[in-house]
C-alpha cells in the first residue's frame, strides 16, 4: 500500500476524531522528540514506513509528529524535507533545547489523533511494536498501553541499581505506583491525553503524571534496541537531577522528614537538658562535656542547613511555577497547506 495515500480528510475536526468506536476513522499520532538526531532520523523514517502501512491496513491512519527540541545539527533541515513528502509528516521546532519533557508536552498538545503514542527517535523503542500496542488498546479496551524495559541487565551495574532504587523509593514516598523499568514509550487514547494536558505544571515528570491521572493501563515488557546512530543525551548527572525532579514533583516526604527530625531533635535535647540539670544538682558543674557541646552544634547546624536546602528546592519550584513561563517556545512548524 502506498503510504502517500494516508490522509484523513477531517483530521482537524475533533468530533470526528474523537469517536473512538469508529475504527475506520482512527488516527494515531506518532510523537517523536528529537534532539540532535540527524544521523538516526533517516533510519527511523525507513523503519516507521512499513509500520504505518500495517496500521493503515488495520483501519488506523497515522500522522508522524516530530518535535525538534532545539537541535543544532541539521535535524530541523531533515524535518522540513520530510514534511514535504506528502506522507502526513508534521513537525514542531523549539527555539532552543527545552528538554524531552517539554517535547513530550508539545507533542501531546499538537497531536491531532484520537490515539497518541510517544516514541524515541533512536529506534530504542522498536516501532515494530506499534501494531501490537494498537491491537491491545482496541481489543483489550485499554486507555493506555505502556511499555517497560525487561532488559536492565544490558545497562551498567551502577545505572541499573540506581534506577531500580529510584523506582522503589519513589513508589514508597509518593502515592505513585510506577513499574520498575517504566519508559515514556506509551500509547494513549485522546481522553487520557486530554487528562494529561489538563495538568498545568511546568516541572513535568511525565511518568508520574501518566500514573497520577489514572485510567486503565496495560503494561507490556519490551527489549530496548541498540541505538544505531547518534548518542544518548542522558549523562548520569542529568539522570540524578531528573530523579530529584520526580521526587520534588510527586512527594512531600522530604519535607515531612524535616519536621520529624526537628521533633526528634527537640525531644532528645529536652531529655538531655533534664539529665544535665539533675546531674548538675547532684554532682555540681564540672567543665567536662565540651566535645559533646561542639559536636552537637556542628550536627544541628548541618541538619538545619540540609533541610533549609530541601525547603529551598521546593521553594525554587514554586517560584518557577508561579512565573508561569511557557514550558517551550515554538519557532517553526511545517507549512500549512
Name the residue among 309, 212, 292, 209 with its Cα closest to residue 257: 309
Residue with cell 530496548: 224
How far apart CA 3 and CA 6 sit, in angstroms, is 5
For ligand UDP, the closer CB: 124 or 211:
124
Identify which range of 119-127, 172-180, 243-251, 256-264 contacts ligand UDP by CB under 6 A: 119-127
Measured from the CB atom, is 73 or 136 closer to ligand UDP? 73
Number of residues near ligand UDP (by CB under 6 A): 16
Q: Which of 6, 25, 37, 108 forms a contact with ligand UDP (CB under 6 A)?
A: 37
C-alpha cell at 200: 498545568
Residue (of 78, 99, 113) closest to 33 by Cα position: 99
Strand partners, 255: none
Q: How far apart are CA 78 and CA 83, in angstroms?
A: 9
37 binds, among ligand UDP, Mg ion, none (CB under 5 to 8 A by kind): ligand UDP
Query: Which residue's C-alpha cell is 514516598?
Result: 173
User: With respect to ligand UDP, which residue has the nearer C-beta, 96 or 172?
Assistant: 96
> How many angstroms separate the CA atoms of 126 and 222, rounded?
8
Is the CB of 97 or the CB of 191 nearer to ligand UDP? 97
Q: Is 87 in the site for ligand UDP (CB under 6 A)?
A: no
The nearest distance, CB 298 to Mg ion, in angstroms, is 45
Residue 178: CB minimum distance to ligand UDP, A = 16
Q: Say whether 93 sits in a helix, a strand or coil.
A: strand
Distance from C-alpha of 235 to C-alpha of 219, rounded to nearest angstrom: 27
106 forms part of the interface with ligand UDP (CB under 6 A): no
Residue 100 sits in the site that holds ligand UDP (CB under 6 A): yes
Nearer to ligand UDP, 300 or 329 (CB): 329
204 binds ligand UDP (CB under 6 A): no
Torsion (CA) 79, 329, 35, 114 in degrees, nearest 10:
-70
In the bound state with ligand UDP, the residue whose beta carbon lies nearer, of 120 and 143, is 120
CA dist., res. 89 & res. 79, Å (int): 8
124 lies in the site for Mg ion, by CB under 5 A: yes
122 binds ligand UDP (CB under 6 A): yes
- In whole angstroms, the minimum distance from the beta carbon of 38 to ligand UDP comes to 10
68 touches Mg ion (CB under 5 A): no
Nearer to ligand UDP, 5 or 72 (CB): 72
- Residue 99, contacted partner among Mg ion, ligand UDP, none, CB below 5-8 A by kind: ligand UDP
Strand partners for 118: 31, 186
Residues 6+ apart with CB under 8 A from 317: 203, 248, 249
Backbone angles phi, psi at 270, to 5 degrees: -65, -50
Is beta strand 89-94 parallel, antiparallel or unpaired with respect to 60-68? parallel
- Look at residue 33 and give the partner it binds from Mg ion, ligand UDP, none, a contact being a CB closer than 5 to 8 Å depending on partner kind: ligand UDP
Backbone angles phi, psi at 335, to 5 degrees: -70, 130
Q: Is 213 in the site for ligand UDP (CB under 6 A)?
A: no
| Phi (first) and psi of residue 62, to 5 degrees | -135, 155
Least separation in angstroms between CB 74 and ligand UDP? 14
Q: Does 224 bind Mg ion (CB under 5 A)?
A: no
143 touches, from ligand UDP, Mg ion, none (C-beta below 5 to 8 Å by class): none
Whether residue 233 contacts residue 151, with contact meaning beta carbons closer than 8 Å, is answered with no
Q: Alpha-carbon distance 325 to 5, whole Å?
A: 40
Is residue 35 at the binding interface for ligand UDP, with CB under 6 A as the rule? Answer: yes
Which residues contribute to the site for ligand UDP (CB under 6 A)?
Answer: 33-35, 37, 69, 97, 99-100, 103, 120-122, 124, 232-234
Which residues contribute to the site for Mg ion (CB under 5 A)?
Answer: 122, 124
Amino acid at each position: 500500500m502506498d503510504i502517500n495515500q494516508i490522509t484523513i480528510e477531517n483530521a482537524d475536526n475533533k468530533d470526528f476524531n474523537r469517536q473512538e468506536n469508529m475504527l475506520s476513522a482512527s488516527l494515531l499520532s506518532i510523537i517523536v522528540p528529537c534532539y540532535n538526531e540527524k544521523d538516526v532520523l533517516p533510519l527511523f523514517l525507513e523503519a516507521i514506513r512499513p509500520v504505518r502501512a500495517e496500521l493503515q491496513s488495520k483501519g488506523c491512519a497515522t500522522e508522524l509528529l516530530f518535535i525538534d527540541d532545539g537541535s543544532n545539527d541539521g535535524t530541523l533541515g531533515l524535518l522540513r524535507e520530510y514534511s514535504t513528502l506528502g506522507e502526513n509528516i508534521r513537525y514542531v521546532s523549539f527555539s532552543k533545547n527545552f528538554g524531552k519533557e517539554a517535547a513530550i508536552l508539545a507533542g501531546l498538545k499538537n497531536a491531532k489523533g484520537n490515539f497518541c503514542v510517544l516514541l524515541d527517535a533512536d529506534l530504542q523503542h522498536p516501532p515494530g511494536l506499534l501494531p501490537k500496542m494498537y491491537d491491545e488498546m482496541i481489543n483489550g479496551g485499554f486507555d493506555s498501553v505502556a511499555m517497560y524495559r525487561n532488559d536492565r541487565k544490558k545497562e551498567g551495574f551502577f545505572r541499573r541499581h540506581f534506577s531500580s532504587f529510584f523506582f522503589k523509593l519513589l513508589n514508597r514516598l509518593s502515592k505513585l505506583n510506577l513499574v520498575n523499568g517504566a519508559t515514556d514509550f506509551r500509547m494513549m487514547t485522546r481522553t487520557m491525553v486530554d487528562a494529561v494536558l489538563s495538568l498545568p505544571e511546568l516541572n513535568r515528570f511525565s511518568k508520574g503524571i501518566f500514573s497520577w491521572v489514572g485510567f486503565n493501563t496495560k503494561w507490556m515488557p519490551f527489549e530496548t534496541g541498540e541505538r544505531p546512530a547518534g548518542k544518548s543525551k542522558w549523562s548520569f548527572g542529568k539522570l540524578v537531577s531528573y530523579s530529584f525532579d520526580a521526587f520534588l514533583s510527586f512527594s512531600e516526604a522530604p519535607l515531612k522528614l524535616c519536621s520529624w527530625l526537628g521533633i526528634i531533635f527537640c525531644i532528645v535535647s529536652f531529655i538531655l537538658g533534664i539529665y544535665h540539670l539533675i546531674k548538675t544538682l547532684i554532682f555540681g558543674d564540672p567543665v567536662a562535656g565540651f566535645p559533646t557541646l561542639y559536636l552537637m552544634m556542628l550536627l544541628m547546624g548541618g541538619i538545619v542547613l540540609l533541610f533549609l536546602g530541601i525547603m529551598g528546592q521546593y521553594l525554587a519550584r514554586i517560584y518557577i511555577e508561579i512565573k508561569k513561563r511557557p514550558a517551550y517556545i515554538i519557532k517553526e512548524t511545517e507549512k500549512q497547506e
